[in-house]
Amino acid sequence: MVLYESVIESIGGTPLVRVHQLAAGLRPRVYVKLEYQNPGGSVKDRAALGMIRAAERDGSLRPGGTVVEVTSGNTGVGLALVAAHLGYRAVIFTSSQIAAEKIRLLHAYGAEVRLVDAFVPKGHPDSLGAAADRFVAETPGAWRAGQYDTPANPAAHAESTGPEIWADTGGAVTHFVASAGTGGTISGTGRSLKTLSRGAVRVIAADPAGSSYSGGDGSPKHIEGAGHTVHPEAEEDVWPQSFHLDVVDDYLTVTDREAILIARRAAREDGILLGGSAGTALAAALRLAERLGPDDVVVALAPDSGRNALSTYYDDEWLAERGFVFDDSDAPTLGGLVDAPAPRVATHLTVAEAVARLRLDERDAAAPVLVVYRRSDGEAPIPAADVAGVVALDELRKALAAGAGHDLVREHASLAPPTVGIGRAPDVALAGLDAAHPDWIAASVLRDGRIVGVITRETLVAHSVRSDRLAMAR
């Protein structure tokens, strides 16, 4: 048994566990590094300790000070844990959209949680970062960790995570796979492994589909802590300085659906309970292993446990609300009522331009039209966050006739409609929407977390009436 004199001494030294059932039939050995064995439950414990120690050394953080950070959860938990042990106050800025378990963990470690949900670009005064910076400026002794840009983040992994993997595989590791959020984990670990192997180890970034790291448009995804999102109205896409691009040899994109499915299968088939970003890394590692040989050893890094995702990726109701369907049921769903993408116009268009662009049949002139940000001005499924509002062609024509042709179309749109998962039974969807949104007229229909169409209350009521008549006829 190993004895530790403090909880922070127990950070690191996490196990490598071989994947058997999910990797059955693959020639390489595939391992997962279980970073949720750290005391705070994630890989971010390493970076948290490294950042705080570096700040103590350079005088940025002094006794009695306050540790401040913007985070999707795990880094905040790590900072709160280390701060609690070392006697610092911890104040964490995050969004209420993160898993409820993470917010509870932050409170459990004594951190003060400040929720900021404004959907604005990073440089906006209402953004998470701006709120944290104001707090630091107004609070004597406050220090912001700055995980996205501090060298202490990747350095923590270069000093510990990489050497551990090298030692535990006896230098046999050939491929290292990890997701990139701040980029610190993959950069520090990857550089260390490349150095130890004299450049032989290949470093693969498992990136959520849509992340701008691998060439996506930066649109929002459902996997927390992985990839890089860009607000649709941001003037530039600023990447973290903690992400060292020269370390990464290749990118493999993984959809939210694939990551969630692999995470759920890992729990049920291999007994390994993974978080979403870990599902992303393992999904990429398994795909990579399909083209490798028996002498290869693939290590996927699991940043955290599925215990922090029991209310999200492992909750069938949460998944159903967002249109993630993992069964083959023949029961009727909204999919049978949504046969085409909803018409859409971009927020930057004028009323006159929108009217000219919308070529709808007269019977559809009153139908809902999504008002979307510029990057979603096409026909591909889009995230709900990219919908700024909803309008009808009839309404735009009236505005045009009233002389408002030069107004931006978004000025005449109502609020964005509620959302409903495509796998819902029509009667269940109608009852749920009526209960949650009594005044709803239309709802965006989600498949795998993205809008694939719009359904109106009128359509659902008509379907319900027809179903009732058919039932009575039988």
- φ and ψ at 409, to 5 degrees? -60, -30
Q: Pick the catalytic residue: 33, 44, 194, 221?
A: 44
List the beta bridge partners of residue 447: 450
How many angstroms separate the Cα of 8 from the Cα of each of 5, 104, 256, 279, 460? 9, 21, 33, 27, 56
Cα distance between residue 448 and residue 326, in whole Å: 10
CA dist 474 and 468 (Å) reads 10
185 in the Ramachandran plot: left (φ > 0), alpha (ψ -120 to 50) or beta?
A: alpha
Q: Is 194 a catalytic residue?
A: no
**CA distance linking residue 442 with residue 83, whole number of Å:** 47
Distance (Å, whole) CA 320 – CA 341? 20
Whether 111 contacts 76, CB under 8 Å: yes
Q: Which residue reads 């309970």 in tokens? A: 273
Dmax over Cα atoms in the chain, in whole Å? Answer: 80
Residue by residue, DSSP assigns 173-212 as --EEEEE-SSSHHHHHHHHHHHHHTTT-SEEEEEEETT-G
User: What is the set of active-site residues?
Assistant: 44
